[in-house]
Amino acid sequence: MNYLEGLNQPQQEAVKHSDGPLMIIAGAGSGKTRVLTYRTAHLIANGVDPFQILLLTFTNKAAGEMRQRVEKIIGNDAKNLWMGTFHSVFAKILRFDGRHLGYTSDFSIYDTDDSKSLIRSIVKERGLDDKVYKANTVFQRISGAKNRLIGPDEYANNPIISADDTAAKLPDMGKLYKIYALRCFQANAMDFDDLLFNTNTLFRDHPAVLDKYQRKFKYVMVDEFQDTNISQYLIVKKLSEISQNLCVVGDDAQSIYAFRGASIDNILNLEKDYPNMTTIKLEQNYRSTQNIVEAANSIIAKNKNQLKKTVFTENEEGSLIELIKAGSDNEEGRLISTHIFESKMNLGLRNTDFAILYRTNSQSRAFEESLRKLNIKYRIIGGTSFYQRREIKDLLAYFRYTINQNDEEAFKRIINLPKRGIGDTTIAKISITANEQQISVWEVISNIKQYQTGRLSETIENFADLIKSFKIMAESGKKDAYEVASHIAKSSGLLKELHEDKTVEGLSRYENVQGLLNSIKEFVDNPDEGVEDKNLNTFLQTVSLMTTADQDDPDGDNDRVTMMTIHGAKGLEFNHVYVVGMEEDLFPSQMMLQSRADLEEERRLFYVAITRAEKKLMMSYAETRYQWGRLKPCEPSRFLDEIDPKYLQFAKNIRRAVEDTAKLPQGFVRMTNREQKIPDFGTSNNPTPANILIQRPRPAVVGNTYKPSADFAPSDTKNLIENDRVEHLKFGFGKVKKIDINGTDRKATIQFEGTIGEKTLLLSFAKLRIL
């Protein structure tokens, strides 16, 4: 058994253990993926049918990689393994067996936006105050209940919950939950929590179905077990009830998803549920230097709530953790980027060797700007992902509605898109008719002439006919997902509308939609393992459960610096890691401390961040940070004091870059652009306005403090700017073609010709505002 070579004692034990419950406590960098892979291969080598193995991972990508690694050892059989995230695997099961609960196999999946939008409508319909019943709050309460497996009826009848809701001044929560659940059901839709909740219900109420899967999955393995919630745990517990072959791998020190119901108790209490469980601890770290491992240990030691283990390493001592103090968030960006640049030069490293980790997505901005200035390629994982973009969600809503006409949220999105003159009033009328007649909205609009006459009935009929034609095409089976999708994109008028929009934003939208169509083409041409059909429905399913880590790079160039939140970095490792934004209230997050009073989870998050580094770890904090347009003073994070000081040193030889935003060279006026979203940059939650430097060779506005009200005359500016050279910090260069100044509010609309990347474009009607 060559695959046991090179494994240490506990690793081998874990690989060889086949039957009976097994818990592997795997410290950071202790080779748990390897153990899981080999264990899977070992089972198959010993005669277990791959069909009988279920492996739940945290991302689909991780599952894919693991499948490949197993394939290398045991060959083609690996294709038959069931692997994926909880959500994707159980969505698949619900497609097969959801009919027992009254769902059809083409149920829609509501994302968080859909759920909140539905909640908003329900709150509105019931005449409740939407400032009290905030969509976010209501959603979180419902989600929390579902994750604890509390259904709507139980919720409404539970006196403790009611008392809590009343105390929170939300007495109608029970009703809202009921209506929300009913509306989702009527829409033949499940939200993320439902995928787990309904699987539990399915297994609870339909023993025959449970029995089928219990017999199918003889071996159940769960990766990142510390991040499962009760609902997920109960599913795997039920599945492995008969075989007792449950193997979980996790690290309580890396549990960072309590906010979505993950319970560290799952791992702490597992031994109670499985008295004869074998526990194996993997404590040797193969990833990081001694300094990094020990610094991480010194942090996590402060937590009370944890299992005992000692992570150690036999790697070299390595350098100390360096700490950088920056004057501002922008300077932080410049210092880190410069450091990356110099490390690349001095050590001959590649971009992929570096990662910048931060607490919140919005922090990416300063690093994007500075990396771009140094011509260092980067990629951002997470943030507003591709599939969250408006135009993408719009087109996906068309697909969803084509497949499922009960999908209320998809309907709301597309009924007046592109504009057909069907507004809220008309939709409300249709909805009332549907209610009166006790039929669905789709039945009303697809037979609109029976129910309504007048100016709009024609338009509505056209819409219904359009959807019907899509439906026929999708169901005929003659066309693949790509053909159907591009037909829908064209015939719906979405593509046309975007194509006519010549603004930068419009262009990038158009390109995004093309990108979506291309990815469907790819999906059709090389479907993933385990995907049987190439129809639109299957594509939709895949897409709605994509995790942010599953995103592919936009082009073939993979040598990029990675930027992401610490949550996104789970399971990854990098040669050099920069943990940035080490400021009190930012990390540890003030929000987290207020709402959950859980400093320990933030500390575990810090632990995760530190242990991503192999060779070099650097941390930085800024003394001031731009927030809501203001410069806010910051305090260094308490976490910096918690690291044993012997592992820490202030960075030497850090070159302070010139404060280029505060002290613009003479003859420059700084302008910002509110409306413009930049194609490559619209990825963080809080994209910064594009900065535009306008060369202005007049002494009137020279200087750092420019007071628009006193010496600013619109016509004057118009003369100054037109035909001037424009340097767009993010786009490149260009020439101003036309300027419109809008009165006294210091807003200007300019049209200029410039370059984005390598393409020359006419950028039109960017709205500018002079600072």
Partner DNA sequence: TTTGCGCGGGTTTTT
Partner DNA sequence: CCCGCGCAAA
Residue placing its CB nearer to DNA in the complex, 18 or 672: 672
Q: How far is the CB of 390 from DNA (least distance, A)?
A: 9
Q: How far apart are CA 237 and CA 23, in angstroms?
A: 13
Residue placing its CB nearer to DNA in the complex, 236 or 545: 545
Active-site residue, from 13, 16, 33, 69: 33
Spatial contact of 254 and 608, defined as CB atoms under 8 Å apart: yes
Active site residue 602: no
Active-site residue, from 11, 32, 227, 408: 32
Residue placing its CB nearer to DNA in the complex, 87 or 560: 87
Q: How far apart are CA 564 and CA 581, in angstroms?
A: 13
Q: 706-737 burial, b if ≥16 CB within 10 A, otherwise e?
A: beeeeebebeebeebbeebebbbbbbbebebb
Could you give phi then psi for residue 223, rounded to 5 degrees?
-90, 160
* Strand ranges in 566-719 using DSSP code E only, listed in sequence order: 574-579, 613-622, 624-627, 630-633, 648-650, 668-673, 690-695
Q: How far is the CB of 197 from DNA (least distance, A)?
A: 11
Tokens 């009033």 locate to 425
* CA nearest to 404, candidates 108, 113, 112, 102: 108
Q: How far is the CB of 423 from DNA (least distance, A)?
A: 3
Q: What are the residues whose beta carbons fall under 8 Å from the beta carbon of 725, sequence distance 6 or more? A: 695, 733, 734, 735, 736
Residue placing its CB nearer to DNA in the complex, 390 or 656: 390
- Please report which residue ranges of 222-280 form alpha helices under DSSP H: 230-239, 264-268, 270-273
Active-site residue, from 52, 228, 254, 547: 254
Q: How far apart are CA 721 and CA 703, in angstroms?
A: 17
Residue placing its CB nearer to DNA in the complex, 102 or 421: 421
Per DSSP, what are the bridge partners of residue 23? Answer: 248, 279
Residue placing its CB nearer to DNA in the complex, 290 or 360: 360
Q: What are the residues whose beta carbons fall under 8 Å from the beta carbon of 232, sequence distance 6 or more? A: 86, 196
Q: How far is the CB of 565 from DNA (least distance, A)?
A: 4
How many residues in total does the chain contain? Answer: 771
Active site residue 33: yes
* CA nearest to 495, candidates 481, 509, 478, 484: 509
Q: How far apart are CA 620 and CA 639, in angstroms?
A: 12
Q: How far is the CB of 68 from DNA (least distance, A)?
A: 20
Indicate the helix (H) or strand (E) that contains 157.
helix 152-157
> What count of other Cβ atoms lies within 10 Å of the Cβ of residue 14?
27
DSSP string, 301-348: TT-SS------EE-S---PPEEEEEESSHHHHHHHHHHHHHHHHHHHT
Active-site residue, from 116, 612, 625, 696: 612
Q: How far apart are CA 507 and CA 700, in angstroms?
A: 36
* CA nearest to 218, candidates 196, 239, 249, 248: 239
* CA nearest to 271, candidates 222, 229, 307: 307
User: Taking the CA atoms of the chain, what radius of gyration do you get in angstroms?
Assistant: 28
Residue placing its CB nearer to DNA in the complex, 278 or 416: 416
Residue placing its CB nearer to DNA in the complex, 111 or 391: 111
Active site residue 254: yes
Q: How far is the CB of 690 from DNA (least distance, A)?
A: 9
494: tokens are 């979405």
Spatial contact of 215 and 240, defined as CB atoms under 8 Å apart: no
Q: Are strands 312-313 and 321-326 parallel, antiparallel or unpaired?
A: unpaired
Q: How far apart are CA 112 and CA 118, in angstroms?
A: 10
Residue placing its CB nearer to DNA in the complex, 3 or 110: 110
Q: How far is the CB of 140 from DNA (least distance, A)?
A: 8
Residue placing its CB nearer to DNA in the complex, 80 or 362: 362
Q: How far is the CB of 322 from DNA (least distance, A)?
A: 25
Q: How far is the CB of 550 from DNA (least distance, A)?
A: 7
Residue placing its CB nearer to DNA in the complex, 60 or 245: 60
Instruction: Tell whether the torsion through CA atoms of 543, 545, 551 and 552 is positive or negative.
Output: negative
Active site residue 77: no
Active-site residue, from 97, 111, 165, 224: 224
Binding site for DNA (CB under 7 A): 59, 85-88, 111-112, 120, 124, 130-131, 134, 136, 192-193, 256-257, 259-260, 359-362, 382, 416, 419-426, 456, 545, 547-549, 564-565, 567-568, 589, 591-592, 595-596, 627-629, 672, 674, 685-686, 688-689, 769
Q: How far is the CB of 568 from DNA (least distance, A)?
A: 5
* CA nearest to 191, candidates 125, 254, 107: 107
Instruction: Tell whether the torsion through CA atoms of 631, 632, 635 and 640 is positive or negative.
Output: negative
Q: How far is the CB of 385 from DNA (least distance, A)?
A: 7
Q: How far apart are CA 443 and CA 435, in angstroms?
A: 11
The residues annotated as belonging to the active site are 32-33, 223-224, 254, 612
